[in-house]
Structure 1
């Protein structure tokens, strides 16, 4: 039986509109099948919480969200006992908005009877706006969602009005419960944290990738094949707001490819990569910078063995620009996919942060590949690590022992040596007397002949040379750090050309 039930009034929405979360009236399936009569009042599940039903149970809820609706709207669903599968579908209207005004966009996910608390155990899945329906049951779930029993109690469908047109956002949500015995949940098989590798070496990786488990179009198998073709040694799976892909890489790793698990938390004030967290770890995203909650979740990422990396911090899509500051970041993604003006801004802002000395934030680059023609490994972060393991790779990224290259064809080396033969390389420090000469050497292979190499210090670009590299003599009193860039010819006269490679800095310190 299907019923349409308006659950809220326009006045109720405006009254609660200032809250971070608006909770609608609950959906009850009491007396929904085989019992006759109208549905019971909210909260009534029938004797002992059982449905007594053998047929599929369905309810449809409709409503309208006004402009300025809260970030999340919770629709409670009172699930009775004896349910094998829960299925949800939804739709919303997309009227043409006035010029210069965003149209409607409504994301969706679900929390089970354990609740909706931030960082709690109730999370069961998220698909954002990538799907119009999903299901969960003991043995299987739609990609983006976690399989497991459909236990009795109050579940919450989470609607997230990303943007609302001036005309409002009319929506409908249909919940379908299928009675029956619960199927056993398979034990997840997760990727190992170590591969054979080559001992202490430079390892290439792409740590920002999306599959069908969020808004990507590729399967894990397709991504693994593309990673190998791109010459990568490791990848990280980073679906939007869900760890559901972690258990779907079985048979895809090997001695030649390490697969790390992670997540991309897409808050309304920027996106952050939780890289290399323990398999199954979920990172919450339901907060803004004004809520002062990000430091807590940064600590939880590290507690789960991962590192904190703000993604595309100067992207111009709504909600993508990073607003939380970098005090809790272990690295920052300054190059995201094909090089764009957004990336150039990120590089320049990152460079300015190096001038302050003390604690600094290493740079990295990733593809953020979702679908064809996105190229896995364009760009990629090349890390000097003691071995091909999660612990060693994350330590290398955190220390800045890395550079970014557009492909595995490009390699970069940067060293600084003093007159006594002491050397330092990426992420390191060289201390020498103020007047003592130091020599900077940059080597580049794989760049096109029309590319140029650049040495950049706290004063800006101090040397430019051919694509193969260059050498520069300086002192620690002249430059506090030096880093390298490889660029293509400018597409627009007077503006920088696109990056081919970018290094983390070597810091220079004056002795005494």
Structure 2
């Protein structure tokens, strides 16, 4: 075994102020079968993210979730791209996310070839019995499908493999789930086949993640370089036929701070952190950002142990598809529905919902709630199915004590 490099360094707040990313270069010679990288530091005192650039570009990212990765021709640690190791100068990329005032001692070890195998995803579980679809009224040629646009796997900081996540999505009755691992595309390969095995459309996504805000990029698009200015994220995703969404714009330490001259088309207005929906912050942000922003929701699911459910909240999207066309709609049709603004967001799959159908608002399962328009005018909803003339701009359903139960753009 040839040890390519061992680097010991004390990282300081000055290093982070100079650049939030530090590259540790190393050489890969022709014919190298694999590479292994190990990172060590006191995780109780800081957060140092981990990733890799090959001589030809991106090879993976695991953020703060891992301290080791392996890349080989036929396998790679989740979060990293397998494939031939092109000769040339590679780099371990360290993200200086949290550096204590007195610094952090960091050790990076690189072995060429690797001393051990890459971690693998768990075996696929059996397909569960899924609940029947909820029939919702829709315009001719359209079907409302239940979606969650934010979830993670072992390819970043989630605890489940992709097949395990797909099985859980089927179990809770989702039709569509976006797999949005942080700053990587290693999870994209095979998503279509995995989803088909569980009767769920898995949308390829990537959560472009920085300490000044996160954004989900939906579609089979090349890796988005999160180190570049955020305006380039918008143009890169659009140029490759995808859709970009601002994530949890008001969420704790990962709220949206980036300045954009061109807004992306979507925003995660309803995130799982909106626990008390009487708090009007997300709606106020939406109003300030612009009503032309299409609303979606996301559970930001990571692990069953966290106690928050997949599919809560749920986003309903009207797609040009019928169950008679196949088990699930192609993800491209789901993106078309998002692009057209045919969305409605609710607390969960079986909760009250507010839909735009044939120039009307249709409130379902919402008896006793209040329909609120963009000017704050209110109309009481009566009955299990209530219809109102549609009007431009966001509308919502509230309880009498002003808790939001459903929104539509």
TM-score band, normalised by the shorter chain? 0.7 to 0.9
Residue 136 of structure 1 corresponds to: 71
1:67 to 8, 13, 36: 13
Q: What is the Cα deviation at residue 472 of structure 1?
A: 6.1
- Structure 2 distance, partners of 1:265, 1:486, is 32
CA contact (8 A) 2:149 2:296 kept: no
In the TM superposition, structure 1's runs of 4+ consecutive aligned residues that sit over 6 Å from their partners are: none
**Do the aligned partners of residues 174 and 351 (structure 1) sit closer, same or farther apart at CA in structure 2, a change above 3 Å counting?**
same
- Structure 1 distance, partners of 2:142, 2:96, is 48
The alignment's TM-score, normalised by the length of structure 1, stands at: 0.67
- Structure 2 distance, partners of 1:242, 1:480, is 37
CA contact (8 A) 2:180 2:206 kept: yes
Residue 152 of structure 1 corresponds to: 87
Q: What is the Cα deviation at residue 400 of structure 1?
A: 2.0
Q: Could you say what secondary structure the match of 2:245 adopts? A: strand
2:41 to 92, 98, 103: 92
Residue 285 of structure 1 corresponds to: 226
Q: Could you say what secondary structure the match of 2:150 adopts? A: strand
Q: Could you say what secondary structure the match of 1:244 adopts? A: coil
Residue 52 of structure 1 corresponds to: none
CA RMSD of aligned residues (A): 2.8
The alignment's TM-score, normalised by the length of structure 2, stands at: 0.82
Q: What is the Cα deviation at residue 338 of structure 1?
A: 5.1
Residue 231 of structure 1 corresponds to: 173
Q: Could you say what secondary structure the match of 2:359 adopts? A: strand
Residue 78 of structure 1 corresponds to: 27
- Runs of 5+ unmatched residues, structure 1: 1-54, 96-102, 115-121, 181-196, 288-292, 417-422, 426-440, 491-495, 505-512
Structure 1 residue 202 corresponds to structure 2 residue 148 = no
Q: What is the Cα deviation at residue 404 of structure 1?
A: 0.8
Residue 301 of structure 2 corresponds to: 369
Structure 1 residue 309 corresponds to structure 2 residue 245 = yes
Q: How many residues align?
A: 372
- Structure 1 distance, partners of 2:88, 2:283, is 49
**Do the aligned partners of residues 91 and 397 (structure 1) sit closer, same or farther apart at CA in structure 2, a change above 3 Å counting?**
same
**Do the aligned partners of residues 346 and 482 (structure 1) sit closer, same or farther apart at CA in structure 2, a change above 3 Å counting?**
closer
Residue 407 of structure 1 corresponds to: 348
**Do the aligned partners of residues 320 and 470 (structure 1) sit closer, same or farther apart at CA in structure 2, a change above 3 Å counting?**
same
Correspondence 1:431-470 to 2 at 5 A: 442-445=362-365, 452-465=368-381, 468=384
**Deviation by residue 1:218-248 (Cα, 9 ceiling, x = unmatched):** 1111111111112111111111000001124
Q: What is the Cα deviation at residue 124 of structure 1?
A: 0.2
Residue 32 of structure 1 corresponds to: none
Residue 99 of structure 2 corresponds to: 164
**Do the aligned partners of residues 158 and 467 (structure 1) sit closer, same or farther apart at CA in structure 2, a change above 3 Å counting?**
farther
Residue 9 of structure 1 corresponds to: none
**Deviation by residue 1:296-350 (Cα, 9 ceiling, x = unmatched):** 3212212222111001011121x44242348321111011125336984122221
- Structure 1 distance, partners of 2:12, 2:273, is 37
Residue 407 of structure 2 corresponds to: 502
- Structure 2 distance, partners of 1:250, 1:234, is 11
Residue 298 of structure 1 corresponds to: 234
Q: What is the Cα deviation at residue 367 of structure 1?
A: 0.9
1:124 to 56, 59, 63: 59
**Do the aligned partners of residues 272 and 467 (structure 1) sit closer, same or farther apart at CA in structure 2, a change above 3 Å counting?**
farther
Q: What is the Cα deviation at residue 485 of structure 1?
A: 1.8
Q: What is the Cα deviation at residue 60 of structure 1?
A: 1.5
Residue 339 of structure 1 corresponds to: 274
CA contact (8 A) 1:453 1:470 kept: no
- Structure 1 distance, partners of 2:114, 2:156, is 28
Q: Could you say what secondary structure the match of 2:264 adopts? A: coil
**Deviation by residue 1:151-192 (Cα, 9 ceiling, x = unmatched):** 321111111110111111110001111289xxxxxxxxxxxx
**Do the aligned partners of residues 170 and 254 (structure 1) sit closer, same or farther apart at CA in structure 2, a change above 3 Å counting?**
same
1:272 to 192, 215, 229: 215
- Structure 2 distance, partners of 1:179, 1:285, is 28
- Structure 1 distance, partners of 2:114, 2:269, is 50
Q: Could you say what secondary structure the match of 2:188 adopts? A: helix
CA contact (8 A) 2:319 2:336 kept: yes
- Structure 1 distance, partners of 2:11, 2:94, is 10
